[in-house]
Amino acid sequence: MIAAAVFRGLRKGLHTTLTLAKAVVPAYVAVSLLARTPVLDWLGGLATPWLSVLGLPGEAALPLLLGMFVSLYSGIGALASLELGAREATIVAVVLGVAHSLVIETAVTRQIGVASRFPLTLRIGLGLAMGALLHRVWGG
């Protein structure tokens, strides 16, 4: 019974990794190619004043937006192509951990009879607030 469970987990894990690769690879490639053009710098410049509240550089806007609205894994792919320190990576992990894949996941809570406005505002607001809090607490 345990052996069957291990095998089932292995199969599911490999299958999931493959599915996730379809989100990670395009985001990684797009952002790392974009990083070689002035576009990312320009976008980063626009986002810098907003993201300084979270203690993040402007270019982190891309993984944050992808992670929140497309899927967590496209955000991770984009994040992997930027080289951020442990503190910055932890802040992004907290913000995206709370507020990610919002389009898909909100559909689940609607199924149990809770309107989407509630989890949506809660997760975006809470994610940003916790990121800002962590930035304050973890001096750097």
Partner 1 sequence: MSAVMNVLGETSLGAAQAVLGIGAVVVPLMIAVEVLKALNVFQRLSDWLAPAARGLGLSANAAFPLVAGAVLGLSYGSGLIIDSAQEGRLDRRDAYLLTAFLAPCHAVFEDTLIFVPLGANPWVVLSMRFAAAVAVTLVAGRLWAMRERAGRGLRDPALGKEDRV
CA 107 to chain centre: 18
Tokens for 47, please give them. 């986002």
Q: Which is nearer to partner 1, 25 or 39 (CB)?
A: 25
Tokens for 129, please give them. 């607030």
Q: Where does residue 68 fall: left (phi above 0), alpha (psi -120 to 50 degrees), or beta otherwise? A: alpha
Give, as ranges, the residues between 48 and 107 that touch partner 1 (CB under 8 A): 72-73, 76-77, 79-81, 84-86, 89-90, 92-94, 96-98, 100-101, 104-105
Task: List Cα–Cα distances, 110 to 34, 97, 131, in angstroms.
Answer: 36, 20, 26
Residue numbers of the site for partner 1 (CB under 8 A)?
1-2, 4-6, 8-10, 12-14, 16-17, 20-21, 24-25, 28-29, 32-33, 36, 72-73, 76-77, 79-81, 84-86, 89-90, 92-94, 96-98, 100-101, 104-105, 108-115, 117-119, 122-123, 126-127, 130, 133-134, 138
